[in-house]
Structure 1
Amino acid sequence: MSELLDAVRAGRVEDVPGLLKPLTARERAAGLRELKALRAEVRDRPWTRWQERRRLRDALLVAGAGCQRGAASAVAWLGAADLRGGDGLPDALLAEVLSYQDPAWLAEVAHRLAGRASTAQEDYPLVAALVRLAGCPMPVTDALTRGWVDAIAMSGSTTPLASGLRADPQAREMVFGLFEVAELPFVVGWHPDPGEAGDWPGVLAALAGEGVLERDTLVAACLARLLRGGRTRDLPFFLKLLRRLELTGEEERAHVADWIGMVSDGASTVAALAQEVLARLAQSGALPAAALADMSGSALFRPEKKLVKAQLVLLGKVLRSDPAAAGVLLPVVGEAFGHEDTDVQDRALKLVARHLPAVDGDVRSALAAAAAGLSPVHRARAAGVFGGQAVPVADAGPYEEILPPVPRPVLVAPAAASLAELVEEMAAFARAGAEPGAYDPAGMIAFERLLDGLVRHAHTDRAGLADALRDPLADRWWRKYDGPGDLDFRAGPLPGVDRVAAAVLEQLSVRALWDANARPARSACCAETELDGVVEARLREIAYLVRTRSLPFLLATPTWSTGTVDPDALVERLRTYQRLCAAPAPVDFAQALVRVRREGTDPATIRAAAALGTTEGDRLAAWLAGKTPAPGLKRADEPADGERSEGAYGWSRSVPGRLLVGTRQRLVVRRDFPPAFQWLGRASAPSRTCHHWSTGVTHWPGVLPEDRETLAAWLLPGMAAGVEGDKRAGTWWLPVVAEAGGPAGPAVRLGIAYGLAARHPRDRLSAVDALLVLAARGQLDGPQLGLDMAMLAISGTVKLNRVADSARTAAATGAYRTVWSVLGAALSGLLTDTSRPGLGDLLSVAAECVESGAVIGEDPVTPALAAVAERGGSSRLTAQAARLLTALRQ
């Protein structure tokens, strides 16, 4: 045993199996106790001695696994995070030291390892070795399937994929794991071209033809996965596999229910394939009329117009070849009378008119009743189709605009009063890493409360706070740092509250913190860097003061969930500071000023601030009274007043074709605020943009919760650039500024205009949310937003089909009048040039708004619409112009 322990301490992992083999069960149990003690010793070694830790860790892992008696304890040892590294496990050595165990024990260990989602992917080689030793079935889990694919991919450099799968004894079980994983391994779909050596769909289809894989099972698994759905990027693999399998007519007929389910609920590409198969079956007479009607009831109400129109074409072909099916199929066609697209309504009405003589009176009456769902532009023709039979019109009653509830901010709970509660919050932040990756108002408030709690407890008992924080933060890398010098020069990179915690624990020297605070403000490359700089400056200041003269509490801690500070609360905080003879910290007070709510301030609050008789009280009073100019924007219709301004509300010189907003110079802000805030008073053009919204910074809206125009002006260029490219998640801030304070002017409005035209639908939803929230708060200038949208479209910056999609989404919530206020103004500019793609879609949404009864009063676009409608023809643009014109005149 002493030789074993010496080998482990020396990191000679290759000697461990031979030294373990002669040991008895009792000696192994005794040795395990020694190994556990050594494990605790290794865990506390600094990370800089990583090479020594790695060798010792592997030796510990193998020796400890060989000394375990129970399967559960063996798996716990093998899965321990402190015994594993990123370079994989010594699989061969582990299999050797475990091979003496009973097969049932080995099988249990293999299944337990396969069930560990966090480690099973990495452990596939070990699990496969244990399965071979135990002679048990291979456990198939998501993580283990990904590990199997990794192993196949690693061997692909020397062995072709087909040969590797043929030779793999686990392939028969593991292949079917691909149909169950939540996320398909990326390498499986890496080679899309058929015939390539790594083409998984082609290889699997070939193996099914050879009998290596069961064809019926493979077909059923593929159809089940397509029916179940999943991530969009995963579905092409299964579609390609299904096409490579080249299903026979008999196989297609055997799965009619599956095809119908895919048409109903499948993704667009899946539904298209299923529709293609069912169309073949229907035209060959293999699909009964009742099944075709069932399928059509789902297909006609899918959002993809191509699928809907293809289904109507199929129904027309079937009705021509089998007129007797009209009694079953025409009622389904009548359901399309209520489709949101009037082109679909028109096609359905023509199909009904063509085959109406073949149905009896009951079906004719049902179809006439369904015609109530037709657009007003089709109802007159519908009356002619039904031979003068009255087409009912649904009475929706007086129009009522539906908008979301106005968001109400809630009071922020005070910082943790007890040390135990504060330590629990700190431990939760440590477990979560730094800050969350996407902006979360609750996360921002939790961050601010935690900062305030650390400051308060450091002020009353810093030694006690340090003792309480040592254990929860024991695994933070900076706790074990022993690099050159000490941690002082690392002060800058410490993330978030770690900076303050390190100061509490005295792992940052006063000198290092002083240097960090005295360091000149870095030259910002973009607005996002400036916003990061405010958060950084606060953390540096707080960390320094924790080590020198601790503050009783923070002045800038939000009082409302939006990040706003109540003016009365700030006056009371300054009064408490005055009573305690505490000097406010410059950055903290500056942050409190730009967070304080200024709109509708009670004059008594201003007088109370001035009555404090302190410099901070006077500055607060002037700020609330509006005598100190807040950061502002430069609009095109404002005179320059001698100010230097590189940007204006107009066309950016640096980014041609983008309508942006620039900030104007504020000398008072540049003179009285700390360096981190002086950018707010600088005149700047909207020319620079970076991509920092993906870096994990989450507190930008909390920097300016009462000045959303300035925040929007700085974030707008990045989002505008993303509209033209493939960037995602650039519109996250729009709902936030819609709920924030301050005027909602050109910057916020342009942000919404760009967001409504974002490339990705999820990003457009953020803009729709912001639009509706501003409308609910009575802060939306719809006509001006429409004019901005028209300018962006005329310049070619935005695509109208995306705008139409966003407008339809907003209107579908019941906000037809709000949407029309935007579209009506936009169309007055867009109808001057009708060659723009997507204009017909925009006219369609506008017509829906007018037909809902939301439009009242005269409309300025009627003459231009008449000119378009009078052209004639069957284009969507002409048809929708005529529809909108009819609705306006009615």
Structure 2
Amino acid sequence: MAEPPERLTRPVGRRPERHWPSALRTLVEEGVLDRTRVLDLCVSRLLRGGLLRNLRLPLETVRLLAPDAEELRARIPDWVGIAADAPSVVAGYAQDVLVELASAGSVPVGALAEMTSGVLFRTEKKLVRAQLALVGKVLAREPGAAGELLPAVTEAFGNEDTDLQERALKLVGRHLDAVDEGVRRELAEAAGLLSPTHRQAAGELFGADLEPEPAPPYEEILPPVPGAQLVPPPATTVEELVAELVVKRLSEDPVAFERALDGLVRHAHRDRAAVEEAVREAFPSAPWEQRTHYFTHTAQGIHVVLAGVLGLLDPTLVEFHRTKGHGADSCLHQALSAVLDARLWEAAALVGTDALPFLLATPTWHTGAIDPLVLVERLRQYREADVEPAPADLAQALLRVPRADPSAGRAAGEADALGTAAGRGLAAWLREEAAVGATVRFLRRDEDKTLRRYHLVDRLVVDAGEHRAVRAEFPPAFQWLGGALEATPRRCHHWIEDRAQWAPVLPADRELLAACLLPTLVGAEGDARGATEPLTALVEAEGPVGRAVLLALACGLGCVDADDRLRAVDAVLVLAARGELDARGLGEELAWLVAEGSVKPNRLADAARTAAATGAYGTVWAILGALLAALPAQAKPVRGLGEILAVAADCVERCGARGEVSGLDALASGRGSSQLMVQAKRLLSALHQGADQPLTETA
């Protein structure tokens, strides 16, 4: 089976005999199942690979059957393939099998060379170290195998761990005399994969055979700045509109959602009867037709507007949701989602009437932003039609207009000239210097004696600040943006389903958006996945980059899930490419997060290594250099700091940065061979190569 039930690998109750692999072994011992057939099936399944949970049954069965030496030798090619490609636990078992066979001289040199190439290409340090040790033992017993095995050993020259590079180089050096000139030249060419810290040792080893090309001047490689994409116009026909409503997953694509919502409003205004008929045909068994309580607590996305087209909504319920505000203790992402709900209830109430010919808040750019001049033109059309803007629609439109847009000044003048209340409101909004912003801070662990605040999310305080215009003029669902929420720590205990729709609420105020995302990012732990999904939209938004944005990026780089960290890496690099990254500020935020244990060094090192591998060594060093300089002095260094130092050293060696980092001398002056001391000395040496220069601040 490609995905066997997981409980097949777990004991049933406390009796060990009630265990599927044990049962299979018993059936083999009793002769009910053929032993060779079972072994072949299990090994074949391990060779096909896949997720570890799907391989536990065949792996445990093979272990319990305990194949003898002859059965293991018969499957050497399979073990080689498993050691190269299987998940770490399974590959470790295959490697142990091959080590046992190789120690007995039962593994052909060619198979061992193939195994070595495959295992040394892996990232697990334990497997790589064990493989280098195995090759060393075989070569000590069979020096003539060096010609086949040493080229495979050079696979470790490109390993991200410089300690493993050094081990491989020393192994090659011990047996270099046993190879001919052709193999020697091949090994010398592979030495170009080594880190700069080992280039000198490689030069001494290979001598004239190693002819390094002069290194070109370092050039920082950053991703291209993503351009703003225009939102396509809404569907031109009712049939096309209904097809979009039926097929597309609108909750996951803000652009598609906004197009569909605007198209629904426009077509219902032109011909409500045609839209109503098409909706009834497309949704013959819709839940809102069957359940009267379907919309009691939430708008259910665009469904509430469809129900409004069909006239199925209770006017009292609609009015309640349109005017509903927030409790002072509401969480920030509930408040973000409620903005969209308020717009949907408003559209449901007005769809198909002269009061809503089209939506003012439909974005013109994929980020959710609206071109100021486009909004002025929309307000002009409203004036000509003698229509007053719907409150929630107008409020969202204002939040989507970037004040820093080059056309903002001209748009303010044209909006004033409209002579309407909405035009004057837009002009005042564009001319206002203070954006709707937020400040973030963290309570000290001992600041509140009445509460036990162990987790960072329990100490996070977000203050949206006082904005009188928002509190006085915006609808209730928007008033939290003016400081209506209490600035206290709050942890969310419910599922977060519509995070894709958060960023378009505040595309012109990046700092406030980041502050709203922080509780989710700071509280992401355990099996949490997808917390960093809004970061892409965050860095493409408008507005200043302050502490909230930097904290959002820092928490993303330390996420448990590798995909979440990768999205955070992309966000950092895009921000750097836009020239908006405060690398020193990000490093300083990471320093205290690492020091207090909220960001694990190994996860941060993995994220930094990924970012550096794209060619952004200068950017990564600017961040890590600031982190190391700001890291508080402790009697006992942070566990795992050596991995961060290794990435930092690699970045410095490649980008040629120079300077001093406070506290680094103390780390490098200790005795021993721990990774922390080795990498500290390596980083210190790299920083002192050439004339001293001040620490890089930006990339």
**Equivalent residue runs for 1:669-818 within 5 Å:** 669-682=470-483, 684-685=486-487, 687-691=489-493, 694-696=496-498, 698-723=500-525, 725-818=526-619
Equivalent residue of 2:639, what SS?
Answer: coil
- 1:462 aligns with one of 272, 295, 303: 272
Matched, 1:886 2:685: yes
Q: Secondary structure at the match of 1:317?
A: helix
Is contact 1:227–1:261 with CA below 8 Å preserved after alignment?
A: yes
- Deviation of 1:464 after TM superposition, in Å, equals 2.2
Matched, 1:259 2:69: no
Distance in 2 of aligned mates of 1:503 and 1:416: 19
- Distance in 2, matches of 1:216 and 1:614, equals 86
- Residues 272 and 352 in structure 2, CA contact (< 8 A), matched pair in contact too: no
Aligned pairs for 1:472-483 within 5 A: 472-481=282-291
Give the C-alpha shift of residue 755 in structure 1. 1.1
Task: Pick closer, same or farther for the CA change 1:223–1:395 going to 2, 3 Å.
Answer: farther
Could you state the TM-score of these two structures normalised by the residue count of structure 2?
Answer: 0.91
Query: 1:872 is matched with which residue: 671, 675, 680?
Result: 671
The match for 2:344 among 528, 532, 539 is 539
1:479 deviation in Å?
1.5
Tell me by how many angstroms 1:574 deviates. Answer: 0.3
Q: Report the counterpart of residue 216 of structure 2 in structure 1.
A: 397
Aligned partner of 2:696 in structure 1 is none
Q: What is the rounded CA distance, in whole Å, between the counterparts of 2:607 and 2:294 in structure 1?
A: 50
Paired residues of 1:789 and 1:826 also in contact (CA < 8 A) = yes
Q: In the alignment, which residue of structure 2 is the partner of 1:631?
A: 436
Offset at 1:284? 0.6
- Tell me the SS of whatever aligns to 1:553: coil
Residues in 1 aligned to 2:372 and 2:330: alpha-carbon distance in whole angstroms: 33
Question: Which residue of 90, 102, 107 corresponds with 1:287?
Answer: 107
* Residue 557 of structure 1 pairs with residue 365 of structure 2: no
Counterpart of 1:87? none
C-alpha separation in 2, matches of 1:882 and 1:365:
31
Amino acid at match of 2:231: V
1:615 Cα deviation (Å)? 1.1
In 2 relative to 1, CA 372–416 (structure 1 residues): closer, same or farther, beyond 3 Å?
Answer: closer
- Note the alpha carbon deviations across 1:240-270, whole angstroms, 9 max, x for none: 1221222222221111111111122221112
Indicate conservation of the 8 Å contact 2:569/2:611, yes or no. Answer: yes
**Whole-angstrom distance in 2 between the partners of 1:245 and 1:838:** 39
Deviations 1:810-848 (A, max 9, x none): 000111111011011111133834621111111111111
Equivalent residue for 1:445?
Answer: 255
Partner of 1:339: 159
1:844-863 equivalence runs, <5 A: 844-852=646-654, 854-856=655-657, 858-861=658-661
Alpha-carbon distance in 2 for matches of 1:517, 1:685: 25
The residue number in structure 2 matching 1:609 is 415
Q: Which residue of 2 aligns with 1:33?
A: none
Matches within 5 A, 1:200-599: 200-386=20-206, 389=208, 391-428=210-247, 435-436=250-251, 440=252, 443-481=253-291, 487=292, 490-521=295-326, 525-546=330-351, 550-599=355-404
Mapped partners of 1:256, 1:197: distance in 2 = 31
Q: CA offsets per residue over residues 575-620 of structure 1, 9 Å max, x none?
A: 0000000110000100001011221332221100111111111111
Question: Aligned equivalents of 1:510 and 1:248: distance in 2?
Answer: 78
Alpha-carbon deviation of 1:524?
5.0
Report the Cα offset of residue 675 of structure 1. Answer: 0.7
CA distance in structure 2 between the aligned counterparts of 1:190 and 1:657, rounded to whole angstroms: 33
Q: 2:629 aligns with which of 823, 828, 838?
A: 828
Instruction: Report the CA distance shift for 1:779/1:579 in structure 2 as closer, same or farther (over 3 A).
Output: same
Once the two structures are superposed, the pairs formed by residues 124-273 of structure 1 within 5 Å of their partners are 178=1, 181=2, 183-191=3-11, 196-273=16-93
C-alpha contact (below 8 Å) 1:227/1:258 kept by paired residues: yes
Aligned to 1:40: none
Name the aligned partner's letter for residue 38 of structure 2.
L
Q: Structure 1 residue 455: deviation in Å?
A: 1.2
Find the aligned partners of 1:206 and 1:427 in 2 and give their Cα distance.
Answer: 54
State the Cα RMSD in Å. Answer: 2.5
**1:887 to 1:477, Cα distance in 2 relative to 1, 3 A:** same
Q: 1:376 touches 1:887 (CA, 8 Å); kept in 2?
A: no
Given that 1:205 and 1:245 are in contact with CA atoms closer than 8 Å, whether structure 2 keeps it comes out as yes
2: CA distance, partners of 1:651 / 1:318 = 57
Task: Provide the rounded CA distance (Å) in 1 between the counterparts of 2:651 and 2:231.
Answer: 40
Which one-letter code corresponds to 1:586 in the other structure? P
The structure-2 alpha-carbon separation of the partners of 1:291 and 1:194, relative to structure 1 and needing over 3 Å to count, comes to farther
Alpha-carbon offset, residue 763 of structure 1: 1.4
Q: Distance in 1 between matches of 2:290 and 2:455?
A: 53
CA contact (8 A) 2:329 2:486 kept: no
Structure 1 pair 668–317 and aligned structure 2 pair: CA distance change class (3 A): same
Q: Quick one: distance in 1 between partners of 2:521 and 2:387?
A: 43
| Superposition deviation, residue 338 in structure 1 | 3.1
Match of 1:36 in 2: none
The aligned amino acid for 2:672 is: G
Task: Look up the equivalent residue of 2:474 and give its one-letter code.
Answer: F
Q: Which has the higher contact order (CA 8 A, sep 6+)?
A: 2
Q: For the structure 1 residues 610 and 207, does the alpha-carbon distance in structure 2 shift closer, same or farther, using more than 3 Å as the test?
A: same
Aligned length in residues:
678
1:471 is paired with a residue of what secondary structure?
Answer: helix
Q: Which has the larger radius of gyration?
A: 1
Q: Which runs of 5+ in 2 are unaligned?
A: 690-699
Equivalent in the alignment of 1:618 = 424
Distance in 1, matches of 2:299 and 2:455, equals: 41
* 1:96 corresponding residue in structure 2: none
Q: Secondary structure of the residue that 1:662 maps to in structure 2?
A: strand
Q: Say if 2:299 and 2:344, in contact at 8 Å, map to a contact too.
A: no
Question: Which AA in structure 1 matches 2:524?
Answer: G
**1:674 CA drift (Å):** 0.9
* Kept after mapping to 2: 8 A contact 1:716/1:751: yes
Residue 197 of structure 1 and its aligned partner are, at CA, apart by 4.8
CA drift of 1:864 comes to: 3.4
- The answer as to whether partners of 2:197 and 2:653 remain within 8 angstroms in 1 is no
Superposition TM-score, scaled by structure 1 size: 0.72
Q: Which secondary structure does the structure 2 equivalent of 1:767 belong to?
A: helix
For 2:585 and 2:221, the matched residues in 1 are separated by: 21
Identity, in percent, stands at: 48
Amino acid in the other structure paired with 2:244: E
Separation (CA, whole Å) in 1 of partners of 2:397 and 2:373: 12
Segment drifting more, 377-386 vs 254-263: 377-386
Q: Residue type of the partner of 1:801?
A: N
1:650, distance to aligned residue in structure 2 (A) = 7.4
Describe the superposition over 1:745-803 as per-residue Cα deviations: whole angstroms up to 9, x where unpaired. Answer: 21111111111111121211111111111111111111111111111112222111111
Query: Tell me, what secondary structure is at the counterpart of 2:175?
Result: helix
* Structure 1 letter corresponding to 2:660: P
**Matched residues in 2 for 1:192 and 1:290: separation?**
44
1:342, CA displacement in angstroms?
A: 1.0
Question: Which residue identity lines up with residue 306 of structure 1 in the other structure?
Answer: K
